[in-house]
Chains A and B, each alone.
Chain A
Amino acid sequence: MSLPFKPASTPWLLAHELRLSWRGFKAGRKGRGPGAFIAFGVLGAMILVGGVFLGLGVRDVDVPLVPLAVAIADLALAVILTLMLSTTLAGAADALYERNDLDLLFSSPLAPRKVLFARALGMAINAGLWFMVPAVLLLTPSIVLGHWAWSGVFVVLAAAALGASGLGLLLAMALFALIGPRRTRTVAQVLAALIGAAFFLASQFRNLMGEKASESLFARIALDARDGRLTLPPFADWPLRAALGQPVPLLVVVVIGAGIFLVAAQVLGRRFAEAAAATQGAETRKAARGPTRAFAAGAFRATVRKELRLVSRDAALLSQVLLRVLYMLPLAFLLARNAAHMPAWALAGPAAAVTFLAGQVAGSLIWITVSAEDTPDLLAISPTPMSVLRQAKLTAALIPVAALLAIPIAVLAWFAPLAALWTAIGAGLTAWSAGLIGVWRQKPGKRADFRRRRAGSFLAALAELLIAFLIGGATALAVAGWYVWALPPLIVAGAVMMALRRTDEQIAAALRAASV
């Protein structure tokens, strides 16, 4: 299908970018059946229904410009911005290294500035749509029912997306200049994960510092607002005013967002082209020094070693795991700290969260070690039974999870041995169930494709989430001492697992069908 714009114009390039993004999005869901799209549709309908109720409820209500509302708006914008920045930074790093079409574009007569402008605008649209679509569904009823000025929210989101795209590019190029092409990709991926988790970590700062137990940043703000002690810096209310459609704040927000974007796109055009060229062959590393290790004995050990090497060298996977670890560590810390001076029931929540996140980390690792294989033919022609290779891949995925959990559980065991035992059992169960789901519902492919696809089977991900919730809940109840109540969620989790179970023959048939 030809693009409806003048060839080589900026809209034509942008349409090309968006077409590739859309096809990538669809390809990522290929093989999941209509389930994913139905789930998106149902979710959208639910948000829309919520929006209708919201619209009816606030028909004659104006948002008060009180400190609490201002603080909530500022925090929401900050969270959205960090998440957008996380996406655009990873996107900017990928744009430098993914050579699918950059060589073609930069070898054409198009100005590099124009190429970068279209690519950056595509990144902004991709990052913005994740927030814009739910916002449109949620707020359109209110806007139609009289709050027309609230459409300022959409403008603020668009400005935030543009700003995040510009910042992502600037950050990626700064990394490139500072640490060179070889390390930029890895560092950018890790930094994107850190930025994505920034607000959660900031919210837990007071917990970690131990100023007051169970008091997060958000709780502190709510308490201060209730007591009339919340003071905000000047202009802190401008994001809220902009979202409510006040012209001057709205104009300022747009100028800031679009300004960052334009400056980045205009200034970096030529440098981006040079940087992209410099990445060619940049991932070549120096040869390792020192004596070589002895070879592993047998297929199981050799496969475990190979998988651990591949996991440790996969920047995208590490950043994904790091994000989950960043969520897990403060909770684990809280769990261990509370264990020293709190009753058992106070440990239930953090224990459940650690259990849940252990399953999530295991799921990420298992999904890629079991399903992503660059040389399936090599494994298939070897005389090693597939079951041995599968066990080795599962073992390799679970070793980092066990290592991550070892310290918090050891600390917890010191103060509250029984709670530690239940948390270890819960975390082990979620990791084990994630492993089984990863094996039963594997989708073979190459590692590079997995990076692009980002996610696995929709059904598997949903089931993993549900089972982690159920086992997390059971762990919380067991830690609180309500053992009998821990059984029902475990039974439901077991039933879900039984429903997902596939025999070896069924797995082989599914793999054959997928390879045709």
Chain B
Amino acid sequence: MKCLGAGLTEALIVRGLNKTFAKPAVSDLDLTVHAGELYALLGPNGAGKTTTLRMVAGLTQPDSGEVSIFGVDARKDPAGAKALLAWAPDEAMIYDKLTPLEYLEFVAGLWNIEPGAAKTKAEELLAALGLTDEARRRCEGFSRGMKQKVALAGALIHDPKLLILDEPLTGLDAAAARLVKDMLQARVDAGGTVILTTHILEVAERMADRIGIIAGGRLLAEGTLDELRGKVGEAGGKTLEDVFLQLTAEAVA
């Protein structure tokens, strides 16, 4: 089911998205992510990043607004939209009593992947993430970083067209963080689309094709780093951190 007149070059189109809990969490948010780009959504704590991404993933019902994933209306055809995306939050969604292989078998089943292909893909992913030796050990003894890697493998097992990651580098050591960043970059290079939130601005600065800055549930600015620099008045010279702090400070003021 197509909507919003979207072409297939737009991975995600969000229009007029609103969500209020005790107070407004997301207000009239518009967002567009192009296919094949890595989009970083930045914002201070409580800015509405996670709520926005949860609404995109179909985990939280918006009060109003539209979400289209590769042209599929996520509210009218949730199953169709979900088939195209994967969501990995900062707390790994895994079962402590299952092994990584058993977990990947379950996730592949949820997305109805052919069992033979799923097993091969699972073994490849675990090898790429350095988890081959742990593949048949229960996750209960794993470090936070290892659990994050298992969850990432789960997000990739069905080869999603749109990968949404909330703070994907939380709890990872330097080597694991590099591994994950390389995997995400390789995914984008191969034509995949990635949306991530992070508090590590250096990651967004180095990896993101475009950056969105959100505060108080509103999108303050969006664009490439140079475009964002331009928006705060000084072209070049400023780091993303400077731009981010200036924009969010203006929003608070």
Contacts and interface: CB of A to CB of B under 8 A. Distances in A.
Contacts of A301: 109
Contact of B109 (A302, A310, A377): A302
Contacts of A285: 137-138, 140-141
Interface in A298-349: 298-303, 305-306, 309-310, 313-314
Contact-residue bracket for chain B: 35 or more
Given A294-B116, A313-B97, A302 B79 contact: no
B57 to A, nearest CB: 5
Contacts of A382: 82, 107, 110-111
B102 A381 contact: no
Given A297-B109, A306-B106, A383 B95 contact: no
A281 to B, nearest CB: 6
B112 A384 contact: yes
Interface in A369-428: 374-375, 377-385
Residue of B83, B108, B110, B136 with most chain A CB atoms under a 10 A cut-off: B110
B97 A314 contact: yes
B95 A310 contact: yes
A342 B182 CA distance: 75
Interface stretch (B85-93, B183-191, B203-211, B218-226): B85-93
Contacts of A299: 109-110, 112
B134 interface: yes
Nearest to B101: A292
A309 B98 contact: yes
Nearest to B57: A381
Given A292-B119, A380-B58, A309 B102 contact: yes
B217 to A, nearest CB: 18
A193 B154 CA distance: 37
Contacts of A314: 97
Contact-residue bracket for chain A: 35 or more
A317 to B, nearest CB: 11
A392 B82 CA distance: 20
A303 B111 CA distance: 12
Interface string B145-157: 0000000001000
B94 interface: yes
A375 B95 contact: yes
Given A305-B105, A310-B97, A383 B111 contact: yes
B105 A296 contact: yes
Contact of B110 (A283, A284, A292, A384): A384
B108 A295 contact: yes
B248 interface: no
A378 B108 contact: no
B32 interface: no
Contacts of A378: 93, 107, 110, 154
Nearest to B21: A516
Nearest to B115: A295
A303 B109 contact: yes
A302 B137 contact: no
A104 interface: no
A284 B83 contact: no
A306 B138 CA distance: 13
B118 interface: yes
Contacts of B136: 287-289, 292
Interface string A270-290: 000000000001011111110
Interface in A156-195: none
A162 B86 CA distance: 54
Contacts of B28: none
B10 to A, nearest CB: 20
B42 to A, nearest CB: 22
A220 B138 CA distance: 50
A385 B83 CA distance: 12
A287 B135 contact: yes
B170 interface: no
B119 A294 contact: yes
Interface string B211-237: 000000000000000000000000000
Nearest to B85: A381
Contact of B115 (A294, A310, A384): A294
Contacts of B99: 287-288
A475 B109 CA distance: 40
A35 B154 CA distance: 42
28 contacts: A283-B140, A284-B140, A286-B137, A287-B99, A287-B133, A287-B134, A288-B136, A295-B108, A295-B115, A296-B115, A297-B114, A303-B106, A306-B109, A309-B98, A377-B59, A377-B93, A378-B93, A378-B110, A380-B58, A380-B59, A381-B82, A381-B87, A382-B82, A382-B107, A382-B111, A383-B80, A383-B112, A384-B112
> Ordered nearest first, which 8 A-B pairs have the shortest CB separation?
A302-B109, A284-B141, A382-B110, A295-B115, A375-B93, A313-B97, A383-B79, A288-B136
Given A287-B134, A296-B105, 5 more contacts: A306-B105, A310-B97, A378-B110, A381-B59, A384-B112
Interface of B: 57-59, 79-80, 82-83, 85-87, 89, 93-99, 101-102, 105-112, 114-116, 118-119, 122, 133-138, 140-141, 154
